[in-house]
Amino acid sequence: MSWLMIVLVVVAAFLILMPMLTYLSARRQVGRPVDSAATGAGEGDRLIYFYSPKCGPCRSMTPIIDRLAQDNPRVFKVNVMEDMETARAFNIRATPTTILVKDERVLDIALGAKGEVQLERMLRKVA
């Protein structure tokens, strides 16, 4: 096997494993207690949207979150570039990430851009 082939296999493995590890890390957060005093993302049952202004999928999802936040006071946006402490408290590794908190525990985590229907379905879990 040539060196080029070995390098290509290693790069391909990296590209496949990194998203998988990010997903598994996020799934481990489900059920974890949330310290509301340590986070700047509100209190009580809520949907928290972590985004970055430079993220392409975030730019497409942010208007949807803005519409939902107008109708529902339990929707919060956290810019990870400005509020790194809250992002660290929730162990955010990728944007966009949407976290559903119920009874001060992480109930659900959604990685990547989601549509309005999916987000409304998440919100109904805490209604």
Q: Residues 5-27: pLDDT tens digits? A: 889 988 988 888 888 888 788 77
pLDDT digits (tens, 9 = 90+) for 39-73: 556 667 889 999 999 999 999 999 999 999 998 88
Q: How far apart are CA 110 and CA 98, in angstroms?
A: 5
Just list the catalytic residues.
55, 58
Residues in contact with 104: Cβ distance below 8 Å, sequence separation at least 6, in sequence order: 33, 34, 36
pLDDT for 20? 82
pLDDT given at position 88: 86
Range 90-109 average pLDDT? 89
Beta bridge partners, 33, equal 105
d(CA 91, CA 35): 13
Could you give the CA distance from residue 48 to residue 89 in angstroms, rounded to a whole number? 12
Q: Residue 113 pLDDT more than 80?
A: yes
